[in-house]
Every structure is written in C-alpha cells, then in structure tokens.
Amino acid sequence: MLGKNESGKTAFLSALKKLNPVSGVSEGFDLKDYPRKGYVRYKRVHNENPSVVIRVEFELTEGEVKEIEADMGPGVLKTNIVVVEKDYQNRRRWVMDINEQAAVQNACDRANLPVEIRERTRKATTFAQLVSILEALDIKPSVVENLLIDIATRYKTPMRDQVATYLEKHLPVFVYFDDYSTLRGRISIPDIRRRAEAGNQLDDADRTFLSLISLVGADLEDLEAETNYEHLKAELESASINISDDVFKYWQQNRELRVEFDLSQANPNDLPPLNEGTIMHIRIWNNKHRVSVPFDERSKGFVWFFSFLAYFSGLEASGEKHNMILLFDEPGLNLHAMAQYDFLRFINERLSPKYQVVYSTHSPFMIELDKLAAVRTVQDMGDRGTIITDDPGSHDKETVFPLQVALGFGLAQSLFMAPNCLLVNSPSDMLYLQVLSEITSSRGRARLDPRWVVIPVGGADNLPMYLSLLGDNYMNVAVLMDVTAKSKRRIDTSNSGAIRNGIKVVEITKVREADMEDVFEPSFYLKLVNESYGKDLRHELTMKTINDASPRIVQRLTNYFRNEAIAGGKFETYRPASLLLQKHVEMRKDIDDSTVERASSLFERINAVLPNSAPAAAPAAAAPASSAAHHTWYTNGERARTPAGQQ
C-alpha cells in the first residue's frame, strides 16, 4: 500500500489486525476507536446496535470447499467467496451464499429413502419443508424416522452457523509488526511477568520479547529466578546464533555484528521497573570495533530487522499458527535503500511462499516493478474517508510520487544495463547526436555506433554521481561534455579519480570553449533559434545581434535573452534541438559539409573505444584496449587533460 502520511494506511492495517489478531481477543476493537465525527451520536446506540468496523472478503481454496462439502454435501455453497464482519463489540459474523436446497437433497440422498417418498421430498427447499413433508407421511419407514432424528440433531443449528464453524477454523490470524514492536535493550523480567499475568497490559515490544523467549524454550519464572544460569545462557546464545544466521542471509549492510543476551540483577538506582529483580540485557557486539552497545541504541534498521526475525521465528516455532497473514506498517523505514531491497528479498524468499504479506510504505525502493499489479494506493478523500484502490490515476500526484520515482529509477537502471554508455550534457545534446548521426550516415560518413546508449547527465557537476552509479559494471563509459572554464575544473577532478584509460582527442571545433551547438555553423544554428523562438523575438537574430565576446554561441544567446528579457530572460537549448528533430528531413540540406565533417570526426573518435573497433588515427604507441571497464573523455572544445602517467 502506497500513500502519504495520515492517509489512513496504519488505521487500515490496525483494523485488519483486529479482525483475528494472533495475540487473541485482548486486541479487539473498543468504543474509542469509533471515528470522532459521529462518536457522540453512535455512543447512544452502541450497546443495542453496534456498527460494523471491518468487512473482509475471502476466497476459499478448493480444499476448504471440499471439507465443507464432505460433511454437508456438494453444492451447499453457491460460491467460494465469503465475507466476514466484525463490529465494535468484537462479534464476528459470516456472510455467505448458502444453498440450503442442496443440503436438503444431500441429506435425503444419504438417507436412501424409498423411491415414492424420495419423489415427494424433491420439492423441499428448506429443512423445515422437508420435516413437514416427512411428518405428513401416513407410514414412516425406519429410514424416515432416522432422517427425522438426524435433522433434529444435526440440523437444529442453522446451516449458516454450521458453515461458519468451518470458516472460523480456516480464518487466518493477522500478525502486525511496526516500529513499536522492536525489542528493548533491557527488560525487567518480574515487571513483564506481572503484566502478562494481569492480562491486556502487554505492548507490541513485550510480545516480541515473549516470542523470543518461547523460541528459546524458557519461561519467565526460570529467567526471573535465574534457575540453572548456565543452561539458560546456553539456550539464549543458541537462539541468538540461529536468529543472527537468518538475519545475515539477508542483511548485507554490516556483517560484523552479533546479538548477545545476558541476565543480571537490577541496579536499585535505575528508574522503575528496571530497579528490581532480574534484568534481561540485549546487546549488539561489533567485531570490527570490538565493542558492544545496548540493543536499542544501535542502528534502528538492524534493530528492526532482528526484532522481526525474533518475533516471526517464535511464531513459526510455536507450531500453533500456520494460517497467517503478515501486516507490516512501514517496514524497514530506517533501512538503507539496498537493505530495503534485502528485506524485499526476505519477503519473497522466506515469507511469500507460505504467507500472504501486506505492507505499507513511502519508499520507492520497497516497490517491485515486476509486481505493479499488487500495488494499492491510499488517499484520504475527505468526507469519503480513506480510499484504497489499484488505480493510481485516481489519486493525487503526492500519493503516487514514490511510484513515479520507482518507475524512473527502473528506467534509469535499464539504460545503465547497456555495456556502452555515452554521457552527454543535456537532452538537446542527445537530440543533436541523433540527427547528426542520421545525416552523416546518409552522406556516407561515420555515424554514432548504435551500441552506444546516450544518457544526459545535466552538466559537469553531475558527472561524479553518474560515474559512481555506473561503477565498474560496464565495458565503456565515454563522456561528451561541454568545455568551459568552470566545467574544465569539474571534469579534471572527476577525470583524475575515474579514468582507467585516458585517450587524447584532437580538437573538433577549433575554439577554446565550445558546446555541442558549436559543431554547427553559426548561421544554421541561428536559423533554428529564430524559428523556434519566432513568437518571442522582436526581430531576427544574426551574429551581429549577439555580439558578445564569448566563443560559445549558447552563451551569447543566454546573455542576449537575459539582457533583452526575451522569453522570460531565459534561453532554453532544448527548443532549437527539438525543432531540428521535427524538421531534420527538410532542414538537412542546409547543413553544410564542414558541419558533417566535424560530426563525422567526432563519431569516429567516440566509436574508436568500442570493442573490436580500431581508433581513427590512433597513435603508433597506443596500448591495446583493456578488457576492464574504463572511462573515456571527449569534448567539443579543448581535450580534457588526463593525469600524469595516463598519457
């Protein structure tokens, strides 16, 4: 479930839990749970006419249907869909479509009635009608008497109640886990024992601890008296090892941790209830730093993960609850993005094969793109209340924002899966490369090799982040970046830390600073600008109009638009590029041979680093291409400097 804060996700999961909580009826609904808007009015009728809090629809399995039919005969359920309700007085009621006529006829078939009597009973649609028909017989064979006795005993309970008995047996228990369920670092054994005996005084953290104790096989009395300390210590350590082993199958963030349990007498100076009796200590030992800290003072992500494993393992080991639905409220909220992926793997590998799992989240990293059909969006719709739906389009943009981020990240990941990535400055650069590649190819010159995946990075400032994302997982990463005085410094900084195999590049544009736009002749580029900005310009632009001293035509236009307050004072490079993409067929005749020559030369140098490609005009002493991933830098102006020793 995906939704904003206060959208109703927790309220929904909490209500679902109370339908049949794993902890029992003590976690039922209370009058105070009723919505405040109508609370006073409802309170008057609560005792006589309690409202239904939750209504859940279940689909019975084939085995569950057969179990009911084995007792009551085939066809007693018209459908395998049943509904269970629970009201504010915690009474459950089943709603089902019963076919009493089928049950009546099944009972008659089992009784082996004589043919003439059987023909009369075929008219009966209820047991009351069947009894009336049988009682009216002048002569009642023993089979009829036996059937009447069977009806009086077996069917004196309404059929719905009989079917409900079977359904109650199969009703799943709901296991709810959130941040409040995590283990505490210190637990007073006498305090938790007193509250457990008093009933209904335990919180979620207490139940997690009791689940851990049940997994150990100890009881609170043994712990409180520290009976056979060495034996208890061995059991606690065994439980710690087993749970830790489970955790570290999925916890990849820090494998130098282990959880330790110990018992001691309370310090009288501590605050109640930790000032008396036996205290259980839960600590985390860090092998790397060789220190331990109280459990609840460690990374919240690890504490949550371990606590859930302890709780869940205790439930599994009890053997009492096999039909469980697991409810997670914001699971892994404090986990790193990669740890959230680990938890999803835990859900898919350990939980989902045996249990149904429902969880709420804000995190795009908790959304599985191959299971989008399972995503439900949640939104508070005012007077309509909280609405949960599988239609993201029906909710506002804030609600579906994590889904959009997840989809965007997935798209980026699919781009990065390509073995050859060409990083460019902007989307306009990507469009120019596409158009120029088609034009150079049509004139028999080199084009950009289709094996390159072109990715706009948004400027030199973003290069280090992209390079870290790409890492060492790709054969080739080439960078085609605008060179200005500012970007040079950023490129050189990234260059010194990233390049594995630097390559010198002959200047393409023959100017000291350049953008991708400078590959074109200035007159042609101004034609694109004039046409794309025709409605904003007061007159046609020429090189004399934009007489700035900058060698970069984009910088001249940027200054001119700002000074003349054209188009809000901002020149957008994408508009001319988009125009060229739309009209490249009719405008390609205006692109001169010099532009084609520059573009072709650029493509040859970019393609040269691809596998099985010989570099154009490669130096005689050039080393063979490395099989390892490497970053290659291409610029439209001056070549990027490479560190000493990488010439």
Out of 155-164, 212-221, 354-363, 365-374, which region has the weakest mean confidence (pLDDT)?
Answer: 212-221
Bridging pattern class, strands 324-329 and 173-177? parallel
Residue 267 has pLDDT above 60, yes or no: yes
Model confidence at 617: pLDDT above 80: no
pLDDT classification of 621: cutoffs 50, 70, 90: very low
Residue 236: band (very low, low, confident or very high) from pLDDT cuts 50, 70, 90: confident
pLDDT confidence of residue 81: 95
Average pLDDT value for residue range 621-642: 38
pLDDT value for 643: 33
Average pLDDT over residues 191-214: 84
Question: Residues 564-576: what's their mean pLDDT?
Answer: 92
Contact 606, 422 (CB under 8 A): yes
Give the other-Cβ count within 10 Å of 548's Cβ: 14
3-class DSSP state for residue 533?
coil
Residues 254 and 350 sit within 8 Å (Cβ to Cβ): no
Higher-pLDDT residue of 181 and 64 is 64
Question: Which amino acid would we find at residue 548?
Answer: D
Count of Cβ atoms closer than 10 Å to residue 532 Cβ: 19
**In terms of domains, do 241 and 345 share one?**
no
pLDDT surpassing 90 at residue 250: no
Distance CA 597, CA 36 (A): 75
Collapse the DSSP code of 240 into the 3-class scheme (helix H, G, I; strand E, B; otherwise coil) and give the result.
helix
Stated pTM of the model? 0.63
| 505 — pLDDT class (breaks 50, 70, 90) | very low
Mean pLDDT of 312-330: 80
Place 624 in a pLDDT band, splitting at 50, 70 and 90: very low
* Residues 53 and 130 placed together within one structural domain of the fold: yes
Q: Within a domain: residue 585? A: yes
Q: How far apart are CA 311 and CA 326, in angstroms?
A: 12
* Nearest residue to 247 (alpha-carbon basis) of 173, 325, 299: 299
Type of residue found at 133: I
Sheet arrangement for strand 386-389: 2-3, 377-380, 386-389
Strand order in the sheet with 92-95: 52-59, 81-87, 92-95
Instruction: Please tell me the distance from the alpha carbon of residue 55 to that of residue 15, in angstroms, as a whole number.
Output: 10
How would residue 384 be classed by pLDDT, with cut points 50, 70 and 90?
confident
| Of 289-298, 365-374, 393-402, 589-598, minimum mean pLDDT range | 393-402
| Range from 170-174, 483-487, 555-559 carrying the lowest mean pLDDT | 483-487
Please indicate, yes or no, if residue 644 is contained in any of the structural domains: no
- Has residue 640 been placed in a domain? no
In a domain, 645, yes or no: no
What pLDDT, in 10s, does the model give residues 397-411? 777 788 777 776 666
Q: What is the mean pLDDT of residues 105-129?
A: 91
266-to-190, 272, 275, 522, 531 alpha-carbon distances in Å: 11, 10, 5, 83, 83
Note whether 501 and 624 are same-domain residues.
Answer: yes
502 three-class SS: coil
Lowest mean pLDDT among 109-113, 175-179, 640-644: 640-644
8 Å CB contact between 481 and 491: yes
Q: What ranges make up the beta strands (E) of 145-297?
A: 173-177, 186-188, 257-265, 278-286, 291-294
Q: Is the pLDDT of residue 544 over 80?
A: yes
- Cα 500 to Cα 135: distance, rounded to the nearest angstrom: 98
Query: Which of the listed residues 146, 171, 196 is the one where a domain comes to its end?
Result: 171
Residue 325 to residue 562: CA distance in whole angstroms: 61
> Could you tell me the strand order of the sheet in which 453-456 lies?
453-456, 420-424, 476-481, 630-635
**Do 406 and 437 belong together in one domain?**
no
Q: How far is residue 378 from each of residues 11, 16, 135, 256, 387, measured CA to CA in Å?
A: 11, 15, 58, 39, 6
In a domain, residue 612? The reply is: yes
Domain that holds residue 127: 30-171
Q: How many CA atoms lie within 13 A of 265 on its CB side?
A: 2
| CA–CA dist 295, 557 (Å, integer) | 61
- Residue 511 pLDDT grade (very low, low, confident, very high; cuts 50, 70, 90): low
Q: Report whether 327 contacts 359 (CB < 8 A).
A: yes
Same domain, 217 and 359: no
- Angle formed by the axes of helices 300-318 and 229-250, to 10°? 110
The predicted model gives 616-632 an average pLDDT of 37
pLDDT of residue 508: 64
Q: Give the pLDDT confidence score for residue 628 in this predicted structure.
A: 37
| Interatomic CA distance for residues 105 and 570, integer angstroms | 83
Whole-angstrom distance, CA of residue 304 vs CA of residue 329: 12
> What Cα–Cα distance (Å) separates residue 508 from each residue in 454, 518, 562, 596?
19, 10, 29, 12
Across 501-554, where does the E strand assignment appear?
none
In a domain, 249, yes or no: yes
Q: Is the pLDDT score of 569 beyond 70? A: yes
Per-residue pLDDT tens digits for 422-448: 888 888 888 999 999 999 999 999 999
Q: What gap in Å lies between CA 616 and CA 614, rounded to an integer?
A: 6
Rounded CA-CA distance 218/212 in Å is 9
User: Is there a single domain that holds both residue 359 and residue 313?
Assistant: no
**Are the CB atoms for 352 and 345 separated by under 8 Å?**
no
According to the per-residue pLDDT averaged within each range, which of 130-139, 193-202, 302-311 is highest? 130-139
Grade residue 458 by pLDDT with cuts at 50, 70 and 90.
confident
Q: Are residues 492 and 534 in the same domain?
A: yes
Range of weakest confidence among 214-218, 232-236, 574-578: 214-218
Higher pLDDT, 491 or 19: 19
165, 163, 123, 118: which is closest to 141 by C-alpha?
A: 118
CA distances from 554 to 451, 548, 572, 578 (A): 29, 11, 9, 15
CA–CA distance, 132 with 146 (Å, rounded to integer): 15
Q: Domain boundary residue among 137, 154, 171?
A: 171
Q: Which residue has the higher pLDDT, 644 or 435?
A: 435
Instruction: Flag the least confident range among 37-46, 290-299, 324-333, 476-485.
Output: 476-485
Task: Based on the fold, state whether residues 447 and 548 are members of the same structural domain.
Answer: yes
- Of 126, 125, 108, 129, the C-alpha closest to 117 is 108
Contacts of 451 (CB under 8 A, 6+ apart): 418, 419, 420, 610
Which residues are registered as beta bridge partners of 175?
326
Quote the crossing angle between the two packed helices 485-498 and 463-470, to the nearest 10°: 20
Q: What's the Rg (C-alpha) of the chain?
A: 37
CA distances from 447 to 329, 416, 569, 610, 631 (A): 53, 22, 36, 13, 21
Q: Rounded to whole angstroms, how far apart are CA atoms 459 and 424?
A: 8
Q: Are 494 and 621 in contact (CB under 8 A)?
A: no
pLDDT at residue 524 in the model: 95
Mean pLDDT, rounded, for 206-219: 80
Q: Tens digit of pLDDT for each residue in 343-363?
A: 888 889 888 998 999 999 888
Look at residues 394, 413, 432 and tell me which one is the last residue of a structural domain.
Answer: 413
Are 289 and 356 in the same domain?
A: no
Q: No. of H helices and E strands in the chain? A: 22, 17
The verdict on residue 647 lying in a domain is: no
Number of folded domains that form the chain: 4
- What is residue 390's predicted lDDT score, i.e. its pLDDT? 80
Burial letters 259-289, b for 16+ CB under 10 A, else e: bebebeebeeeeeebbeebbbbebbbeeeee
3-state secondary structure of 98: strand
Rounded Cα gap, residues 513 and 549, in angstroms: 12
Q: Using DSSP, state whether 403 is helix, strand or coil.
A: helix
> In this structure, is residue 564 part of a structural domain?
yes
Residues 447 and 586 in one domain: yes
Contact 326, 175 (CB under 8 A): yes
Tell me which residue has tokens 């986990």. Answer: 335
pLDDT at 647: 33
- pLDDT for residue 202: 83
Residue 620 has pLDDT above 50, yes or no: no
Q: What percent of the chain has pLDDT over 90?
A: 32
**What is the pLDDT at residue 78?**
92
Banded pLDDT at 117 (limits 50, 70, 90): very high
For residues 594 and 459, state if they share a domain: yes
- Average pLDDT (158-180) is 89
Long-range CB contact pairs, 258-262, < 8 A, 24+? 258/284, 258/285, 258/287, 259/283, 259/284, 259/285, 259/295, 259/306, 260/284, 260/285, 260/292, 261/233, 261/236, 261/237, 262/233, 262/236
Q: Are residues 483 and 577 in the same domain?
A: yes
Contacts of 20 (CB under 8 A, 6+ apart): 92, 171, 172, 173, 174
